[in-house]
Chains A and B, each alone.
Chain A
């Protein structure tokens, strides 16, 4: 009996593992495609059927970070004295454009990437910070019309964002916030803060108020109790909220496209703009996309322990 059931169990385990493997492969296929394209020579990027096995090269990354021009038919380049990475560009029929003094000109990508980081990190900090404090207030104090306030906060997310795109554009232009970091940070914070309030309220509600009360009678002020007791206890919730806010701000495309064009432009609207004229170089676009995927992956990975606890938070009633 025991043998039979354990054999059956082993079989069903194997089936489950096989199913998980298949599903994982299906989900990872696009990521593999974009990842592999980021290291292909340009000629292999658009073959049909797709090339699976190839000699990976770094040229798409070099191209991503540099400004390049096509070589003219008879143009001579100093091939022998050029560094290895510049030779790759010559092999592709291009050369890196230089200033009058001979310095390498960078592409727009690094600046856009830094813009993305500035906007996403700042707006996440602001949204999570304000959200946590607001949620704490709603959770711990009797607020007049609490339900109405919370509904109002939630209602700011009820309109599809794109509906307000044109009014936003006009308002931003009038206020001089077009193409500014402050403008985007403000917008993403406003997007995220209502979400952060609701999410954090759930987490803070779960923290027994006796912890703070214990701290109060132990000789601390409410603010000290908040810092020393509530925040560490809410770390899980803060991590989960931060990841969600960061992803929203990092991936946002529509408003970034409308409200920025150069100085404060983030990576999402920049990457497709490279498709531009002539034949698109898919390897460069893939390289930009791969780098763009990394921060969210790293951030989520760093907070993974908190996130896993966050998923099961509140599932156990004490």
Chain B
């Protein structure tokens, strides 16, 4: 098995700088997900690791050995394509056997390997079918089987379930997790779907504009976004972001968003001082950090219900504090009428402060 290391990778497509100084280590048996909007360079990075794209600068190491000069065929890395790329003129069996034939595997070994991979993916009954006769899910199983059949050092997957329908995606997600659990090969998985990323990844790598934004476990990335981009990209519905002014009122701190003001713990002031925070700050709070009540309680501010979106298990409610709108998450049916008056506050433990200029998080961790 294998460890993949990227050192200061740079890549241009003509005038476009598509990978900017990316450095990353993927540990042995780790499942890393590259997450980002389309065109952020995640697929290009993956293709560079596979040897399908050349890089302009930097090193790609597999088990400490630079491989950027090697042909794709010599890297011992398997790749699963978004459109599966099953060879249409071969049967499923031949598709699975193709990588083994490249290295001249003996016929008996080849046959038993193909059959055992087919069995572990549940496609034994399809071995004589042509790819065009398969369903999307089965095509994907064959594509993954073709990648695993050679027992590669690392497995790269480029949006492998992106073109399946929602229900099948969920099934395949579970199957992928099981496969990784059983085979444990070092895997890099590219997607723009944060649900896939959160549910599959040991670690998520968030990319934008060719730059690594944050590397961390799904929980870290969700709870402690490193900057405004990650904060807004991860999480659905999206995090509330507003420019904030911090005031101190006789030992009590408060944060003002336009004309809505909320209480904050007093130690916020000291923390900001210590971080030498820039004057322009942005506050971010996820909808579940906006607490709603029907009764006026200390620290709660009056608000008007502007919009209710039922999500089934919960509702997302747009609240108006004067001219400022915040999105809150409530139990379903908690607020049942648009225009209703409710009271709300921001949970300090769930607030994030960002430098508006650079977008970087100040990483303040407040208590409630």
A and B pair up: yes
A interface residue numbers (CB < 8 A to B): 208, 210-211, 213-221, 224, 229, 232-233, 318
Most B Cβ at <10 Å: residue of A210, A233, A318: A210
A219 pairs with B99, CB closer than 8 A? yes
Bound complex: CA A232 to CA B87 (Å): 10
User: What is the chain A residue whose CB lies nearest that of B163?
Assistant: A318
> Nearest chain B CB to A238's CB is how many angstroms away?
13
B72 pairs with A217, CB closer than 8 A? yes
Bound complex: CA A198 to CA B83 (Å): 27
Selected from A214, A216, A318, the residue in CB contact (under 8 A) with B87 is A214
Q: Nearest 8 pairs between A and B by C-beta?
A: A219-B102, A210-B85, A218-B99, A214-B85, A216-B72, A217-B79, A232-B89, A210-B81
> Nearest chain B CB to A141's CB is how many angstroms away?
13
Bound complex: CA A89 to CA B197 (Å): 88
Selected from B50, B87, B150, the residue in CB contact (under 8 A) with A219 is B150
Supposing A213-B52, A215-B98, A233-B88 touch, asked if A220 and B73 sit within 8 A by C-beta, the answer is yes
B73 pairs with A217, CB closer than 8 A? yes
- Tell me, yes or no, whether B78 is within 8 Å of chain A by CB: yes
Interface residue tally for chain B (C-beta within 8 Å):
22
Supposing A210-B81, A214-B81 touch, asked if A219 and B88 sit within 8 A by C-beta, the answer is no
User: What is the chain B residue whose CB lies nearest that of A212?
Assistant: B85
Bound complex: CA A211 to CA B83 (Å): 10
- Tell me, yes or no, whether B287 is within 8 Å of chain A by CB: no
> Nearest chain B CB to A225's CB is how many angstroms away?
9
A213 pairs with B81, CB closer than 8 A? yes
Bound complex: CA A216 to CA B52 (Å): 8
Residues of B within 8 A of A214 (CB): 79, 81, 85, 87, 146
> Nearest chain B CB to A216's CB is how many angstroms away?
4
A211 pairs with B71, CB closer than 8 A? no
B103 pairs with A219, CB closer than 8 A? yes
Bound complex: CA A114 to CA B50 (Å): 52
> What are 13 contact pairs spanning A and B, CB under 8 A?
A213-B72, A213-B79, A214-B79, A214-B85, A214-B146, A217-B50, A217-B52, A218-B99, A218-B150, A224-B102, A229-B87, A232-B89, A233-B89
Supposing A216-B71, A219-B73 touch, asked if A211 and B102 sit within 8 A by C-beta, the answer is no
A217 pairs with B78, CB closer than 8 A? yes
> Nearest chain A CB to B136's CB is how many angstroms away?
12
Within 8 A of A (CB), among B129-178: 146, 150
- Tell me, yes or no, whether B77 is within 8 Å of chain A by CB: yes
Residues of A within 8 A of B99 (CB): 218-219
B interface residue numbers (CB < 8 A to A): 50-52, 71-73, 75, 77-79, 81, 83, 85, 87-89, 98-99, 102-103, 146, 150
Residues of A within 8 A of B81 (CB): 210, 213-214
A221 pairs with B83, CB closer than 8 A? no
A218 pairs with B83, CB closer than 8 A? no
B51 pairs with A216, CB closer than 8 A? yes
User: What is the chain B residue whose CB lies nearest that of A219?
Assistant: B102
Residues of B within 8 A of A232 (CB): 89
User: What is the chain B residue whose CB lies nearest that of A225?
Assistant: B73
> Nearest chain B CB to A312's CB is how many angstroms away?
15
User: What is the chain A residue whose CB lies nearest that of B102?
Assistant: A219
User: What is the chain B residue whose CB lies nearest that of A213?
Assistant: B52
User: What is the chain B residue whose CB lies nearest that of A224?
Assistant: B102
User: What is the chain A residue whose CB lies nearest that of B82?
Assistant: A210
Bound complex: CA A213 to CA B84 (Å): 11
Most A Cβ at <10 Å: residue of B50, B73, B81, B88: B73
User: What is the chain A residue whose CB lies nearest that of B103?
Assistant: A219
> Nearest chain A CB to B97's CB is how many angstroms away?
10
User: What is the chain A residue whose CB lies nearest that of B50?
Assistant: A217
Bound complex: CA A213 to CA B50 (Å): 10
Bound complex: CA A232 to CA B89 (Å): 7
Residues of B within 8 A of A211 (CB): 85, 87-88
Bound complex: CA A215 to CA B52 (Å): 11
Residues of A within 8 A of B85 (CB): 208, 210-211, 213-214
Known interface pairs A213-B85, A220-B73; 7 further A-B residue pairs with C-beta atoms within 8 A, sorted by A's residue number: A208-B85, A211-B87, A213-B81, A217-B72, A217-B78, A219-B73, A219-B103
> Nearest chain B CB to A204's CB is how many angstroms away?
15
> Nearest chain B CB to A262's CB is how many angstroms away?
46
Residues of A within 8 A of B83 (CB): 208, 210, 318
Residues of A within 8 A of B51 (CB): 216-217
Bound complex: CA A233 to CA B131 (Å): 13
> Nearest chain A CB to B164's CB is how many angstroms away?
15
Residues of A within 8 A of B102 (CB): 218-220, 224
> Nearest chain B CB to A307's CB is how many angstroms away?
18
Bound complex: CA A232 to CA B99 (Å): 17
> Nearest chain B CB to A228's CB is how many angstroms away?
8
User: What is the chain A residue whose CB lies nearest that of B104?
Assistant: A219
Bound complex: CA A227 to CA B51 (Å): 20
Residues of A within 8 A of B73 (CB): 216-221
Residues of A within 8 A of B75 (CB): 217
Bound complex: CA A207 to CA B188 (Å): 26
Residues of B within 8 A of A208 (CB): 83, 85
Bound complex: CA A220 to CA B99 (Å): 8
Residues of B within 8 A of A229 (CB): 87
Residues of A within 8 A of B87 (CB): 211, 214-215, 229
Residues of A within 8 A of B72 (CB): 213, 216-217
User: What is the chain A residue whose CB lies nearest that of B79?
Assistant: A217
> Nearest chain B CB to A15's CB is how many angstroms away?
37
Bound complex: CA A220 to CA B104 (Å): 11
Residues of B within 8 A of A216 (CB): 51-52, 71-73
B103 pairs with A217, CB closer than 8 A? no
> Nearest chain A CB to B154's CB is how many angstroms away?
11
